[in-house]
């Protein structure tokens, strides 16, 4: 099991600024499912019901205070009424790695600590008044001086598209068997959690003729069964099914930490079901300076995600983008 430490935490992007390099003590972040106690008088155990609201938590402590070389603190020190978009790359600045995204993070409390014989530091606590998303980095934070795309990369490149089917949080679900039928009915030993129309990757199914292994669109029959459009004459056993697309949309994040020279830059997140044909998923508001954006989309999100940037003029830009599937 991989383990991560502070050395992996290289991204804490707040409204385009990367605070990670300035923080020396700690960052606490996460989300809480708000519940209300619902047990009446006369019962021996507590009961709680979720009220359907999530609450984000974000606290950064021990930032080195330096207004001369870095205006980060001057920016976040404004505690009144500025809603910020925050992205935190907790396991590294790597495409495909998990990041946390916060929308509507208000600086709630900002304090500067000055001690004799010590560096001056600052703490900031945010009140998250909006969504908290858990997604994958699509474009790692990198500087570009020309139009870019992470559509390609080559076998050993880290800037290739993000493949949802191999995301560590997207676990393969076991298959018990598939039936002789057209379409063939696949039975799982536990609830599969799939949705009709979703594309899945089936692998490792034995004896099924023809095979149902490969990329398939599913039709959900019950919590533990679904069908795939294959006319099966000999039943199969075993194997796994892994989600390759999702159908409930998601949220895309863009943070631009450095920008100079260009007239403008158009940043997109694109998606593809087959790694051959790519379609626009999100076109962020045209970038003309340091910025942060969160854009929500509905509908199907395909297996592969890539980032593209189309520049006008000459200059330099350091973008980061990520996507959270719903």
Partner 1 sequence: MPKTYRLIYSGAVTYPADPISLRAIKDAQGLSNLTEEQKSKLKFKTVQPGEDCSDMPKESLVLFLEAGRIEEYVDAPKVVTNA
- The structure tokens 């935490």 sit at 9
> Count of residues binding partner 1 (CB under 8 A)?
27
Q: If we measure between CA atoms, which residue out of 104, 203, 147 comes closest to residue 319?
A: 147
CA distances from 214 to 14, 86, 87, 210, 211 (A): 41, 38, 35, 11, 8
What is the spatial distance between Cα 294 and Cα 166, in angstroms, rounded to a whole number?
25
Core vs surface per residue 229-258: b (16+ CB within 10 A) or e: ebebeebbeebbbbbbbbbeebbbbbbbbe
Query: Considering only 50-58, 114-122, 150-158, 200-208, which stretch makes contact with partner 1 by CB under 8 A?
Result: 150-158
Give the CA dihedral 204, 207, 213, 218, nearest 10 degrees. -110
Q: If we measure between CA atoms, which residue out of 141, 11, 140 comes closest to residue 87?
A: 11
Q: Among residue numbers 39 through 98, which ones bind partner 1 (CB under 8 A)?
A: none
DSSP state, 69? T
Compare residues 20 and 281 and give the one whose CB is closer to partner 1.
Answer: 281
User: Does the footprint of partner 1 cover residue 143 (CB under 8 A)?
Assistant: no
Q: Among residue numbers 183 through 202, which ones bind partner 1 (CB under 8 A)?
A: 197, 199
Give me the least distance between CB of 205 and partner 1, in Å please.
21
User: Does the footprint of partner 1 cover residue 300 (CB under 8 A)?
Assistant: yes
Q: If we measure between CA atoms, which residue out of 196, 194, 296 comes closest to residue 241?
A: 194
Return the residue of 63, 161, 252, 309 that touches partner 1, per CB under 8 A: 161
What is the spatial distance between Cα 183 and Cα 195, in angstroms, rounded to a whole number?
16
Give me the least distance between CB of 13 and partner 1, in Å please.
25
User: Does the footprint of partner 1 cover residue 151 (CB under 8 A)?
Assistant: yes
Residue 196 has a CB neighbour count (10 Å cut-off) of 12
Q: Among residue numbers 214 through 233, which ones bind partner 1 (CB under 8 A)?
A: 217
Q: Among residue numbers 266 through 295, which ones bind partner 1 (CB under 8 A)?
A: 270, 272-281, 283
Query: Considering only 54-62, 154-162, 309-317, 318-326, which stretch makes contact with partner 1 by CB under 8 A?
Result: 154-162
Compare residues 65 and 304 and give the one whose CB is closer to partner 1.
Answer: 304
Compare residues 64 and 195 and give the one whose CB is closer to partner 1.
Answer: 195
Compare residues 14 and 302 and give the one whose CB is closer to partner 1.
Answer: 302
Q: Rule CB under 8 A: which residues touch partner 1?
A: 149, 151-155, 157, 160-161, 163, 197, 199, 217, 270, 272-281, 283, 300, 304
């Amino acid at each position: 099991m991989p383990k991560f430490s502070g050395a992996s935490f290289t991204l804490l992007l707040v409204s385009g600024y990367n605070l990670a390099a300035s923080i020396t003590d700690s960052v606490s972040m996460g989300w809480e499912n708000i519940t209300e106690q619902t047990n009446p008088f006369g019962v021996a155990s507590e009961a709680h019901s979720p009220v359907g609201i999530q609450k984000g938590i974000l606290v950064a402590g021990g930032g080195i205070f330096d207004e001369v070389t870095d205006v980060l603190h001057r920016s976040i020190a404004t505690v009144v009424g500025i809603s910020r978009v925050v992205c935190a790359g907790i396991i590294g600045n790597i495409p495909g790695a998990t990041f946390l995204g916060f929308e509507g993070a208000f600086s709630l409390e900002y304090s500067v600590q000055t001690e004799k014989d010590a560096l001056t530091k600052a703490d900031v606590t945010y009140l998250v008044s909006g969504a908290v998303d858990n997604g994958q980095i699509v474009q790692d934070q990198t500087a570009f001086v020309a139009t870019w795309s992470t559509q390609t990369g080559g076998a050993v490149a880290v800037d290739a598209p993000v493949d949802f089917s191999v995301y560590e949080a997207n676990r393969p679900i076991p298959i018990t068997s598939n039936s002789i039928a057209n379409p063939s009915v696949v039975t799982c030993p536990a609830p599969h959690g799939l949705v009709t129309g979703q594309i899945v990757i089936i692998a490792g199914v034995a004896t099924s003729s023809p095979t149902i292994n490969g990329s398939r669109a599913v039709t959900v029959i019950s919590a533990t069964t679904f069908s795939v459009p294959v006319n099966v004459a000999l039943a199969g056993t075993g194997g796994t099914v892994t989600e390759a697309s999702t159908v409930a949309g998601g949220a895309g994040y863009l943070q631009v930490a450095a920008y100079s020279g260009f007239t403008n830059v158009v940043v997109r997140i694109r998606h593809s079901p087959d790694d051959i044909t790519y379609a626009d998923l999100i076109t962020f508001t045209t970038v003309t300076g340091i910025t942060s954006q969160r854009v929500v989309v509905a509908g199907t999100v395909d297996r592969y995600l890539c980032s593209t940037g189309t520049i006008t003029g000459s200059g330099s830009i350091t973008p980061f983008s990520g996507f959270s599937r719903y």
